[in-house]
Amino acid sequence: MDVLHASALAKGLYTIFDNHRFLGRLQAGGVATNSFEDVPPSLRFFAGGDQSVRGYGYETLSPENENGVPVGGRFLLVGSVEYQYQFADQWRAALFVDHGNAVNDLFDPLATGAGIGLRWISPVGPLRLDVAKGLNPEFGGGWRIHFSMGPEL
């Protein structure tokens, strides 16, 4: 089996008037192979979760096998936009929309999640608490709480 796994990630942050920020993220990837069925899950793409499409479980957005278990996709397309407002010295409120999926065909549908969040700029780095709604029930979307820590970009 021959396989090429490639991915790209672009992130950006734009600050306006010191207390308004916009963050954006785009991620894309693909697997080229002569036998995709033999590609291990570690080289396939999955989406969903805290750092991907919020409102869906971790790595639940992907093609599924006959038992409904996510098996990973050939392509990954994920984008996110977020607005943050700093309302106190170490605190920010956030609004966001995420859109994407791991798919086998570039024309397969993508999932959307949207929500609100709270950011605390702690001494050890940013802590994020988000409440997100997966807007596509066919992908298992619903209300989810997401917690993450570390750099925002």
Overall domain count for the chain: 1
Q: Are 84 and 21 in contact (CB under 8 A)?
A: yes
> Does the structure show a pLDDT above 90 at 141?
no
CATH number of the structural domain spanning residue 26 = 2.40.160.50
> Does the structure show a pLDDT above 80 at 153?
no
At 90-99, the pLDDT tens digits run: 999 999 999 9
Residue range of the domain that includes 138:
3-149
Separation of first and last alpha carbons in the chain: 35
At 1-38, the pLDDT tens digits run: 899 999 999 999 999 999 999 999 999 999 999 999 99
At 37-77, the pLDDT tens digits run: 999 999 999 999 999 999 999 999 999 999 999 999 999 99
Q: What is the pTM of this model?
A: 0.93
3-state secondary structure of 119: strand
Q: Are 21 and 86 in contact (CB under 8 A)?
A: yes
The pLDDT of residue 152: 82
Q: Are 121 and 107 in contact (CB under 8 A)?
A: no
The pLDDT of residue 51: 94
Number of CB atoms found within 10 A of residue 39's CB: 17
Q: Are 27 and 76 in contact (CB under 8 A)?
A: yes
Number of CB atoms found within 10 A of residue 81's CB: 14
CA dihedral defined by 21, 135, 116, 9, rounded to 10 degrees? -40
What's at 47, amino acid-wise?
A: A
